[in-house]
């Protein structure tokens, strides 16, 4: 349903169309941190709209997803040159090559073990990197699975989407892996988040939001528009998630009972990708066409 009592939304222009804001995360410094996928930069945006850009050592490295690390820095994937990047709160950057060539790292999250965990889209592996840059890789039991997003679960394990294997995976910090197939064929899950009790994920090809409990029970909730292409998802609290509809230029909200509300973004075709909760409690969304949207929930 489309609500008339839509949350107050404002849009901040942060880059020209060529930069491609993609990932967004709230940093330990209270600012928002963004990846500019097309221009190879990391940007820092304060709550009052002040922007600082940090160029990486390669404009072609395609920084993708970004997350606060356990060490007070931000960690991000460089999907084009197969490295994991790190940027400190004052903008110092470094990077670490993933051992398996052509890995295509994409999703990344702080783990419960003081390390950072990431997915390798191209090589069917889950990676773990320590704050010193030491990388361990765990091979998935599927080939061509295309692991995408990853998040720390409420059970002390890591949970991730398998975009092409049509499943949700779970890996313990010791590397034990369980795969949970999705009921809907060809759903192509991408984003995943923990609400503190269960995991919620976005099925980009099926136009559904899914919920998986830590024991593997799955529920799927169809969106009103099955072509909306839900992409990234973030939990505000238990049973309270927000997601981007990349194909429909909207932000969606879902509750535990599966009640869905949707809100249109101010600019047409702004290609919403990453979404996070800011230190101000508002929702912040990266728009690939060059902006950031802020929604007051």
271 annotated ligand-binding residue: yes
- The pTM is what? 0.97
Domain count, the chain: 1
What does the pLDDT look like over 140-167, one tens digit per residue?
999 999 999 999 999 999 999 999 999 9
Q: How many CA atoms lie within 13 A of 293 on its CB side?
A: 28
Residue 188 belongs to domain spanning: 9-295
The answer as to whether 1 is a domain residue is: no
Contact of 160 with 120, CB cutoff 8 Å: no
Decide if pLDDT at 6 tops 90: no
Decide if pLDDT at 2 tops 70: no
What does the pLDDT look like over 223-282, one tens digit per residue?
999 999 999 999 999 999 999 999 999 999 999 999 999 999 999 999 999 999 999 999
Q: Which of 38, 82, 253, 273 is catalytic?
A: 273
Active site residue 273: yes
The pLDDT of residue 98 is 98
Q: Which residues contact 92 (CB under 8 A, 6 or more apart)?
A: none
The answer as to whether 4 is a domain residue is: no
Mean pLDDT of 42-49: 96
Residues 220 and 212: their CA atoms lie apart, in Å, by: 9
The answer as to whether 210 is a domain residue is: yes
262 annotated ligand-binding residue: no
The answer as to whether 143 is a domain residue is: yes
pLDDT band of 5, cuts 50, 70, 90: low
Q: Which residue is listed with tokens 């499943």? A: 167
The answer as to whether 2 is a domain residue is: no
The answer as to whether 220 is a domain residue is: yes
Give φ, ψ of 175 to 5 degrees: 95, 10
The answer as to whether 3 is a domain residue is: no
DSSP class per residue in 155-203: TSSEEEEETTTTEEEEE-TT--EEEEE-SSTT--EEEEEE-SSEEEEEE
The answer as to whether 183 is a domain residue is: yes
> Based on C-alpha coordinates, what's the Rg of the chain?
17
The pLDDT of residue 297 is 76
User: The domain spanning residue 210 has which CATH number?
Assistant: 2.130.10.10
């Amino acid at each position: 349903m489309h609500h008339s009592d839509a949350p107050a939304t404002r849009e901040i222009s942060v880059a020209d169309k060529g930069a491609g804001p993609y990932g967004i995360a709230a940093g330990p410094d209270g600012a928002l941190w963004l990846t500019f996928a097309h221009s190879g930069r990391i940007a820092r945006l304060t709550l009052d709209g002040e922007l600082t850009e940090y160029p990486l050592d390669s404009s072609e490295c395609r920084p993708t997803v970004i997350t606060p690390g356990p060490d007070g820095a931000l960690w991000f994937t460089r999907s084009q040159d197969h490295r994991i990047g790190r940027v400190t709160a004052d903008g110092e950057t470094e990077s670490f090559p993933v051992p398996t060539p052509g890995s295509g790292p994409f999703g990344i999250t702080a783990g419960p073990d003081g390390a950072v965990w990431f997915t390798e889209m191209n090589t069917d592996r889950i990676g773990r990197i320590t704050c010193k840059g030491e990388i361990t890789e765990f091979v998935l039991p599927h080939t061509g699975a295309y692991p995408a997003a990853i998040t720390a679960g409420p059970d002390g394990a890591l949970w991730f989407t398998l975009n092409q294997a049509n499943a949700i995976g779970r890996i313990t910090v010791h590397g034990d892996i369980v795969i949970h197939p999705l009921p809907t064929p060809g759903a192509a899950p991408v984003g995943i988040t923990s609400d503190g009790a269960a995991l919620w994920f976005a099925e980009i090809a099926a136009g559904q939001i899914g919920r998986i409990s830590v024991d593997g029970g799955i529920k799927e909730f169809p969106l009103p528009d099955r072509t909306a292409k839900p992409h990234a998802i973030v939990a505000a609290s238990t049973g309270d998630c927000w997601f981007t509809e990349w194909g429909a230029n909207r932000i969606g909200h879902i509750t535990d009972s599966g009640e869905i509300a949707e809100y249109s973004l101010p600019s047409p075709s702004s290609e919403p990708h990453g979404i996070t909760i800011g230190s101000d409690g508002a929702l912040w969304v990266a728009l690939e066409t060059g902006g950031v949207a802020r929604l007051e929930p």
